[in-house]
Structure 1
């Protein structure tokens, strides 16, 4: 075989976005009927040890018109010829039989006029949504004489095999098992002495996987597909990735699947993942197995009820290395070890043996026994065995990964003369602004749409009397503060005049803002102490030697690349000293949060930011865009809605930065508590392990505890300009007034058991349209618009009726929340009165953007930050 052909063959496994190069394909099975014994002999193609059938891609030259004008087909057995776009080729104009004859002539090195008429034995129709048309893979069978067969088998790349020999070829050496299926079909028809072999038809499309069904008729597979929030267009993205990996075949094999699994973070584990997805143990995946398997591994897929059972079946198969349907002690030990590592626990041999022994007791089996699938499912389902929710998770959300790689699935990208086939159950609803009834709006609560922002009806808080600050601040062009000077000193030096300051009231400071003496403070004069404290806080904010500013300086070093040290790296910094510094800062900031109300009342202008999740790089982007010279010199408040840690690599740096800014600008930087500011959640995810990894076992735990003691004291809600209610999760199920939130205890180490109100505001969600079913609807009707949150497996979801009642009862106009990742960094719901904001881009390896909201001048303006 020519080197060019082999190279083209190798490159065919590298799938690319549809660019007009996908074409119809014809494959050929050449056979000869033998004498006694073996009835069928086959001529197949072998390239680099892989057995396949010769095939050819259809070009515009292979049309009926070309045949009628006497044109001859061109191309090679493996389809290396170039061709125009497939949209120029209409299937009804293609003579597939002529292409098969041309292919047979090339394989057998014969004149096309001497080739017998081929018979179609299999036709596969594969629909590509983004191109809005079907593509066809036709398999023809052609019988040749024994003389022709003997002559052809001596040519390069051609291999003679009997049917029994073909069946014995290992799966890893077969391009697809369909070769055996086709050969068996031909053999069975010949045994019946049929003149016409007959053909089978396969049709593949996304409509075979996704169906619009109500909750009562949902299968477990339907529930799994909807668990991570997938919609029809997301299934199309997954399906087209399957076609990229499989075309022109009806299945995808491990060779084509391996690069994709590696991209998702399964390096060196691809074979085990593929085996877990291969439920039929055929060595190949159909579109349904492909999509369901990937969905089960998506980090956003729920681990509760139906989806949890399906995920557990995949997990069981993943660890069942010998495929005997049971987990031996060695296999169970590996499962236990992986859970411990993901939880950041000790995995020394001794501790691992103890955990394995405890697991055996949990499953009630002896060390010489094996764990059955049913026993595994029962123990996990009854919560007797915990930690499986962390297993079998890709390193990134799959849909954002595909969007980032190929762009969104869109049937608008390519205009095709072929109409999309009618797919059962895929009727699209059209929503027109102003055309929905109140009931319909409830049913479509989570549908994102583009609508103008409301001006609102804000009433700003009354401002107090203005006073002159006692110092000036010198700032570099980069925004870094370099020096401060007291105005009184400048007045004495004659640089300014008549500041109005009383010399006796001033506290002398050095050039760094350090107070030289505090002996003049009179404890018995409260007004003087209060006046001094205000001025001290103002000057201390710019003191470069203060605790928060030293932390900011250290973080600047961490952020930048310096003399061989990469960016976002501590280099040779003494991590033990840094850890102790963070613990000291936590002790200081804890007092600040303890003295704040549980419900904050803020004025505008105010920037509101959502989840950060350890994304220090994006936090710095927000700083440079919004408060480049620091919060004290920026005329706005800053409100963060929680989830500062977990899932990102720099959770400790994020909280250190935010705590430092809060310390030096207590009246301008405000931090609410999110659902990840809870110890049990952090142990399930990454922050607990991150602290230990950066500071060691003992100091890491101390740092983690110090940070969480601060989290325990954080406020849980805020109201901006008396009209905009801000929380991390969602509105609570509250019959009274929002002022009742002031009774939430502080500190709050266990919010789930100590304050149901706080727990709800950290976990609640607006109900999604696809999650509505009879059970949920009944709960919403009987519980004033609230129902159990199945997705989170805790707290509630709420509908528009509950949302409207909450706003009206508390004289509010809008709600701003975080808690859910959004592709654009934000989402607008509930007729423009509910906004979700997410401030960490590329979340879990995805392609989402980061955004924030500016509330100012009776407007709520969404700002999307370029974090590239």
Structure 2
């Protein structure tokens, strides 16, 4: 932790010299008020007999913050948040400063946060405390990362232990310790640790950090709560344990887990657990009465670790257990046992068992004698033991009796009347529509937005600058500027710069068929195709005038480079989208795709994603390359070109692309053209996501970069990716490997497959890795994704599924190297992935 180990003396000097920066730090929500907003209706404000009024934490996306364990050694007291009608009890905390000076470090911020809290955010007292710090150490105890599924980014919660100086104040210039203020109060540590119940405690960290701080020296912890960990018990085809089996029987999907995880962290923040107070506020959002005494029993049942607070997985498994349709197995039986075992002894006494029998016969008018008779009969079937001179039922006997059907009827116990996960799904939908958290009436939502999607309500529409004319084949044959006086008047002086640029782009690039280089090249390639020759005797575009082609290529590549300078290494794309695999110089297939998918270029409705490998192997690599670049320039926001492993100079020299350029255009111009196109390849992105759900790349996933953010950190220009970026090289070259084959290869090489993290050296390629389902699933879950699409391999049908459909290979070059493989591509639209195979049988003629 940079800056965490500086001495207190250094901090005094730093704070004294930079005291003006303190005023930029404001207490977070007035230090304690987690709920002080206008949207505070997660639960009703009701008074309990012996408790203060509390409300639940409103949904907050986690953000970077500091948490303080402020300890007074003189009075053995600890600072906690002050309890008022709208507040709960926790540790004081502040938000981090968004802009940090170069000499302003993490611990400097922490010191400023402490001073702000101790001064009660009073400017005069703050100045006095800056002169002489009232504490002798400020030590980082814990670094906790919390991932938000909304953004996939991590928020950092830094916890600092602050020990006040032991000196007492005799004048007004010194700090007086343990003085309650508007926002904090002081509590004796002995009272905090010995008292089993603290009213309105929001999270257990208050007690945990207190205990940790009493152990000297104080160790620093680094922990994390991520979406990947939330998926830990996500069921597979065959459940591995009771936890997975209960989630599977409840029919929970990864989206259910993700929604609950998001709801959990937003409710608990800045804590990462639920105390009973937090739990009952949470359950009140879903129809439970927060004052229902049964919530205490439900909390005990959820808390299978029996530590007094709930983790995310305990909440997930608990909610799955009480679902209306969850299978009644061993997990539910043990859950029911904990529900009725309120004394926490691990054994049911007779009073607890009587309560269970009464609940089993709820609705029946039974006399006391009848109830006692049923209890005696049930005890006989289950069996009892004598513990501390008391007759009790053990958990194992209870489970065995129900499993052998000696004791029946418990399946109806501990079930909610409606699915809480359905309510949660509706809540998330309501939030997306900016509705209240308690708005569950989906029919009203549908009626309100019927006939128009929500996103369209906020969009603005602009009239295009051109009208177009189509011939009978659907191709654009004429473009005409709209007559301004008939439709609207354009005042260029009043137009914004980007609007004027769009107008010029449309006029000069997209619809200028006579002088736009990109339009001209596409037209020339269409005209060239019928007379391009055969595989044995291929011809080249403008091969009789290489100087003219070079001039066109030079302009085209310069435009492409400027365009790519503004693209990320991982591009975000929205559906509908066509995904197209390897092209490999197959001009026939490429132009057939044009006729089927985008012949009204540049007037298109869908996006197009090409997965790389445009050159090598085929005889018309240069023509395919120039066509795709022109396509990109004409439709920069509709077309995305990814880099493949063949868009690298060393491979092109070994295979055919460089020789093709030299053969068609001579040594000088051929070298110029080859080098210019490769400068464009150097800047191509290497991956993309579609609808923030599908990961796309040429080869696969990287071993050395596990997040999309790491991929985006790869530098834009990679002349030699093998040497300049290992992660990029892995993305270009890696292959999926089915689990059985993966295990067999590990056994062959004497490697324990469980220690590989799902990656094995790629023997068939001689570089990068093969990855199995475990590695793919972990990468997808870590980035909030669901599937991946890649190219790089040649399936006979043009496509191939891996890992039960989680990964899909697509190949869009038929008759590859003389084979009889098909050409295929993917259409992604309305959450459906549709495989499209092109009939390219006649295209085989050009191969002969």
Task: State the TM bucket, normalised to the shorter chain.
Answer: 0.3 to 0.5
User: Structure 1 length normalisation: TM-score?
Assistant: 0.43
User: Structure 2 length normalisation: TM-score?
Assistant: 0.44
